[in-house]
């Protein structure tokens, strides 16, 4: 474990150190964050592939004090550098995907265009490559006894991690904070689309016992039907229903406890930043009106701890980049700090 006993948490964050200005190494840190700079299949705004670098920069402004878990950081948090080859592959395939999306949006027949057929094949093969890369990277870390978080990129990035977690922990559940269901089958023809990650997880990972979604407010009829057809594996707390119940006097405490009670003992948190109100993430890729306050979500996460359930891993994704400030990265960094604290607290030494 990192020797942080003599690190002054009140000092100015040193940009020459690692995440949150901590003087940590991968070997000595308990939590390892794997950045995945990938956004090939995003269907609206881009920029998430460069979020890990922006979050790293913003993280030195985070005061490393959490009143609920004041010493969690002393177990060591470390973020790897983004893999430039993955980023370059993402940039190349993103341009190909944009041409393809524009083509099909006009109602053109893909099979009638040899170039578009080739483009679709390349994107799908690239996404399969990414899934394998994430699986191998995270599995190796889990095998070393590390606690792991994935930092996207878009929401397609953690699928390989879901599989590594399943092999490590066996049966588990995912708590998905999101504006979208991500239950589309091969959205836009992309098998591993960001809009299909939970569909693929349920299809490919038998150890995934339960998917519990919260904050959902933008979804297709086919996704709604899929949820109705699989009540044994999917429980969705739609944003609209949450708000209506609260308008009528139900407390967030009651709803949060209902959400937690739907989860199995082992919990993976998959946090799409667009699950928050857009004022907290204005440049996220697919913004939707509505959404949670950040403290609402943190309260929900603490209720997981209070219940005695175990948080085993997390991902944070869809943090945008753009504008004249680093507001999105700032919120992303603070969210990442909370997730790291929760992870070590839920897994005591």
Cα–Cα dist 176/173, whole Å:
10
Q: Is residue 164 part of a domain?
A: yes
Q: Is residue 332 part of a domain?
A: yes
Q: Is residue 96 part of a domain?
A: yes
Q: Is residue 95 part of a domain?
A: yes
CB 317 within 8 A of CB 272: yes
**Cross-strand bridge partners of residue 78:** 32
What's the pLDDT at 2? 56
CB 130 within 8 A of CB 160: yes
What's the pLDDT at 220? 97
pLDDT at 18 over 80: yes
What's the pLDDT at 108? 87
pLDDT at 1 over 80: no
Dihedral in degrees, nearest 10, Cα atoms 249, 251, 254, 258: 80
Domain total for the chain?
1
What is the SS3 assignment for 180?
strand
Q: Is residue 14 part of a domain?
A: no
pLDDT at 11 over 60: yes
| CA 328 to mean position of chain CA atoms | 14
- Assign 3-class secondary structure to 61-107: CCCCCCCCCCCHHHHCEEECCCCHHHHHHHHHHHHHHHHHHHHHHCC
- At 310, give phi and psi (nearest 5°): -110, 125
Q: Is residue 5 part of a domain?
A: no
pLDDT at 34 over 80: yes
Cα–Cα dist 186/128, whole Å:
13
Q: Which percentage of the chain shows pLDDT scores above 90?
A: 91
- Domain residues for the domain of 286 are 19-345
What's the pLDDT at 14? 87
Q: Is residue 2 part of a domain?
A: no
Q: Is residue 109 part of a domain?
A: yes
pLDDT at 325 over 80: no
Confidence of residue 9 (pLDDT cuts 50, 70, 90): confident
What's the pLDDT at 3? 66
What's the pLDDT at 6? 80
Written as six digits, the tokens of 341 are 């604290």
CB 331 within 8 A of CB 273: yes
pLDDT at 324 over 90: no
| Average of per-residue pLDDT values in the chain | 95
Supply angle C-alpha 163, 24, 4, rounded to 5: 120
**CATH number of the domain enclosing 170:** 3.40.800.10
pLDDT at 23 over 90: yes
Cα–Cα dist 277/272, whole Å:
12
Give the DSSP H/E element, type plus range, for residue 312.
strand 310-317
């Amino acid at each position: 474990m990192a020797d942080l006993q003599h690190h002054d948490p009140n000092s100015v964050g040193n940009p020459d150190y690692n995440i949150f200005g901590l003087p940590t190494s991968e070997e000595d840190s308990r939590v390892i964050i794997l950045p995945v700079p990938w956004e090939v299949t995003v269907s609206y705004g881009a920029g998430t592939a460069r979020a890990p670098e922006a979050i790293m920069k913003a993280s030195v402004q985070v005061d490393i004090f959490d009143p609920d878990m004041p010493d969690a950081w002393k177990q060591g948090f470390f973020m790897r550098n983004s893999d430039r080859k993955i980023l370059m592959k993402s940039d190349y395939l993103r341009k190909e995907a944009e041409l393809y999306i524009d083509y099909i949006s006009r109602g053109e027949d893909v099979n009638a265009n040899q170039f578009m057929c080739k483009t679709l094949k390349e994107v799908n093969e690239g996404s399969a490559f990414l899934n394998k890369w994430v699986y191998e990277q995270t599995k190796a870390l889990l095998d070393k006894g590390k606690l792991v978080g994935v930092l996207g990129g878009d929401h397609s990035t953690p699928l390989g991690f879901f599989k590594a977690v399943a092999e490590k922990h066996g049966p588990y559940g995912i708590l998905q904070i999101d504006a979208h269901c991500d239950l589309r089958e091969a959205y836009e023809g992309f098998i591993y689309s960001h809009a299909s990650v939970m569909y693929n997880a349920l299809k490919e990972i038998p150890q995934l016992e339960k998917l519990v979604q919260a904050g959902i407010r933008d979804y297709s009829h086919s996704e709604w039907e899929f949820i109705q057809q699989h009540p044994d594996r999917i429980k969705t707390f739609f944003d609209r229903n949450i708000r209506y119940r609260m308008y009528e006097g139900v407390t967030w405490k009651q709803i949060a406890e209902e959400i937690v009670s739907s989860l199995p003992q082992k919990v993976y948190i998959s946090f799409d930043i667009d699950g928050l109100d857009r004022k907290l993430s204005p440049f996220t890729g697919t913004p939707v009106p509505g959404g949670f306050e950040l403290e609402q979500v943190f309260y929900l996460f603490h209720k997981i701890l209070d219940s005695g359930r175990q948080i085993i891993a997390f991902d944070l994704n869809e943090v945008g980049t753009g504008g004249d400030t680093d507001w999105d990265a700032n919120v992303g960094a603070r969210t990442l700090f909370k997730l790291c604290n929760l992870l070590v607290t839920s897994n005591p030494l």
